[in-house]
């Protein structure tokens, strides 16, 4: 935790420092607010149908950012943010999150079709209703974007994420390759899609004993292949029986499709669906998530 607080403090110190950079550079402060409702048909990331539970979520987020343009080709953004997410069924998955992000954007050449680049890195401190899931997540990303036409923008990139938790299962590392396309069919409307291939750690949950005390004898291979496992406090508190959380190395394919409708320059509504397919040595599962968000920027 101390390292995370230090990272946040350094990024926030940079934010303050950049606010006093030479007056000739373009600078802007802005605030953003998000309110989202979501549904996930496999909140525990389980393989076996008996272990699959769905859940509904409600998320609220607030961010403050400082944007500094050094020229038409270079700019940085420094952002601090906080989120609250509430789970309806497995309430101990609810979390409070706060963190900071640094974004650097640049172009090597000017022109409508010239590619532009973005590097960003962030730290997130996640505090759950059960301590074993409390974590610090560090994420870095490099993105290359190019306009194909006045309506189509294509982006691709690489992301690396490392998460350190108070438990043993939820310590994870992942590398991600992705490609995204945005299509603007008309003013205030945007359609988008993102495909990602992820390699790294995943966590899942499973019952080791049922509500009547009968042991689940078909999970021995799963237990032997797991890199780490421990009792899953969140699911044990929510349901009868005995539940464990476990970590495996996996390949993950995800597809996000969404639509965004703007209302002026300050408000937009976003609706998206995500399909997740996971292939691990001893566990394959899939999940579908739906999310609707109201986004505001001031």
166 φ/ψ sector (left φ>0, alpha ψ -120 to 50, else beta): alpha
pLDDT for position 26: 65
Query: Is residue 21 very low, low, confident or very high in pLDDT (cuts 50, 70, 90)?
Result: very low
Q: Which residues of 84-122 are buried (b: 16+ CB within 10 A; e: fewer)?
A: ebebeebebbbbebbbbbbbebebeeeeeeeebebebbb
Q: Is the pLDDT of residue 210 over 80?
A: yes
Average pLDDT over residues 267-280: 97
CATH topology of domain 2-297: Porin (2.40.160)
**Are the C-beta atoms of residues 46 and 52 closer than 8 Å to each other?**
yes
pTM for this entry: 0.89
Give 221's pLDDT tier (boundaries 50, 70, 90).
Answer: confident
| 4 pLDDT higher than 50 | no
Mean pLDDT estimate for the chain: 91
> Among 10-14, 25-29, 30-34, 195-199, where is mean pLDDT lowest?
10-14
């Amino acid at each position: 935790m101390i390292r995370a607080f230090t990272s946040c403090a350094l990024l926030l110190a940079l934010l303050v420092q950049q606010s006093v950079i030479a007056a000739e550079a373009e600078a802007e402060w802005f605030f953003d607010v998000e309110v989202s409702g979501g549904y996930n048909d496999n909140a525990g990331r389980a393989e076996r149908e008996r272990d699959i539970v769905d859940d509904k979520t409600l998320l609220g987020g607030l961010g403050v950012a400082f944007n500094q343009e050094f020229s038409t080709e270079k700019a940085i953004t420094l952002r601090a943010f906080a989120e609250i997410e509430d789970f309806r069924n497995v309430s101990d998955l609810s979390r409070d999150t706060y963190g900071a992000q640094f974004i650097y954007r640049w172009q090597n050449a000017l022109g409508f079709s010239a590619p532009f680049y973005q590097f960003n890195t962030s730290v997130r401190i996640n505090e759950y209703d059960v301590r074993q899931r409390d974590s610090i997540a560090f994420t870095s990303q490099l993105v290359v974007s190019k306009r194909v036409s006045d309506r189509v923008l294509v982006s691709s990139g690489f992301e690396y994420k490392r998460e350190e938790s108070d438990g043993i299962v939820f310590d994870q590392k992942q590398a991600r390759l992705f490609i995204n396309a945005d299509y603007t069919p008309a003013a205030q409307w945007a359609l988008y899609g993102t495909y990602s291939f992820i390699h790294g750690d995943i966590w899942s949950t499973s019952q080791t004993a049922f509500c009547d005390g009968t042991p689940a004898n078909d999970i021995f291979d799963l237990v032997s292949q797991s890199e780490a496992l421990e009792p899953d406090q969140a699911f044990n508190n929510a349901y009868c029986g005995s539940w464990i959380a476990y970590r495996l190395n996996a390949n993950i394919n995800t597809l996000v499709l969404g639509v965004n409708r703007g209302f002026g320059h300050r408000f937009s509504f976003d609706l998206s669906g995500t399909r997740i397919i996971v292939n691990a040595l001893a566990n394959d599962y899939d999940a579908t998530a739906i999310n609707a968000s109201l986004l505001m920027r001031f």
